[in-house]
């Protein structure tokens, strides 16, 4: 009887401990390893890993529902300090053929953190293109919203401070090949943020001649570009996004 009671006590303790720890529902360690579900997707997008002298990265799904996705990524990268090694991300699966001018809002919220000093950013990445079937690795235009900047800089030049969604942002403008890149940078690290990405497109349409009636939404993503550092853990407690 004693041993049975002891076993039940152990089982109860283990079950309680498991309930307190987030379960990893998917582990992505291969380059471009992919997961999708509940209207979201994830990619262990190690597109620049060959520039590194050493390092690796894995990305983990902790939970996902129609209300958002929780995930994390662990990495260490050395060498080529000014080269991006990866942009691991969660994305909202979008319907192709939807013009930016036809979208009324793109509400989103996020809560994230880093556990180490790194050279990296934390940013939204949104591509648009006139061709609705454009590959999802680039576009005619790229909109980035940087919530964290750690000893790295966006493409292009700083054009000054602008106001979007009731907040101030540094606006950088440049080109990545033929793709025009607009990067809105939070002046201070912003670990929690809720906003409407459509407001950034509206600003670009009003102030930068962005052709909203000709551009289709290609991807709507949030993640981190890793340069060097680690061992590091990037944790997203929850990210949600939608297109209305």
Instruction: Indicate which residues carry an active-site annotation.
Output: 142, 225
- The closest alpha carbon to 183, from 124, 242, 225, belongs to 124
CA–CA dist 50, 138 (Å, integer):
19
If residue 7 lies in a helix (H) or strand (E), which one and from where to where?
Answer: helix 2-20
CA–CA dist 87, 196 (Å, integer):
22
If residue 9 lies in a helix (H) or strand (E), which one and from where to where?
Answer: helix 2-20
Neighbour-count burial of 205, counting CB atoms closer than 10 A to its CB (0-12 exposed, 13-18 middle, 19+ buried): middle
Q: Are 92 and 39 a contacting pair, CB within 8 Å?
A: yes
If residue 195 lies in a helix (H) or strand (E), which one and from where to where?
Answer: strand 192-196
Tokens coding 208: 């930068």
| Contacts with 26 (C-beta within 8 Å, 6 or more apart), sequence order | 35, 42, 60, 61
CA–CA dist 235, 8 (Å, integer):
34
Q: Are 130 and 215 a contacting pair, CB within 8 Å?
A: yes
Q: Tell me the Cα Rg of the chain.
A: 20
């Amino acid at each position: 009887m004693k041993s049975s009671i002891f076993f039940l006590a152990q089982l109860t303790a283990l079950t309680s401990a498991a309930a307190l720890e987030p379960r990893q529902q998917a582990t992505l360690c291969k380059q471009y390893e992919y997961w999708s579900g509940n209207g979201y997707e994830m990619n262990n997008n190690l597109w620049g890993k060959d520039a590194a002298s050493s390092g690796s990265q894995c990305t983990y799904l902790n939970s996902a529902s129609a209300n958002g996705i929780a995930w994390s990524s662990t990495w260490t990268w050395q060498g080529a300090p000014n080269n991006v090694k990866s942009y691991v991300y969660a994305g909202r699966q979008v319907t192709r053929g939807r013009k930016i001018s036809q979208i009324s809002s793109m509400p989103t919220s996020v809560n994230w953190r880093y556990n180490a000093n790194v050279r990296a950013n934390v940013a939204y990445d949104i591509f648009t293109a006139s061709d609705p079937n454009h590959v999802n690795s680039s576009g005619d235009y790229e909109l980035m919203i940087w919530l964290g900047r750690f000893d790295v800089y966006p493409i292009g030049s700083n054009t000054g401070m602008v106001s979007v969604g009731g907040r101030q942002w540094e606006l950088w403008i440049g080109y990545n090949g033929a793709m025009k890149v607009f990067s809105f940078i939070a002046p201070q690290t912003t670990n929690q943020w809720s906003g409407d990405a459509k407001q950034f497109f509206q600003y670009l349409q009003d102030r930068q001649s962005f052709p909203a009636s000709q551009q289709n939404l290609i991807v709507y993503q949030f993640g981190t570009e890793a340069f060097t550092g680690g061992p590091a853990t990037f944790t997203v407690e929850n990210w949600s996004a939608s297109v209305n």
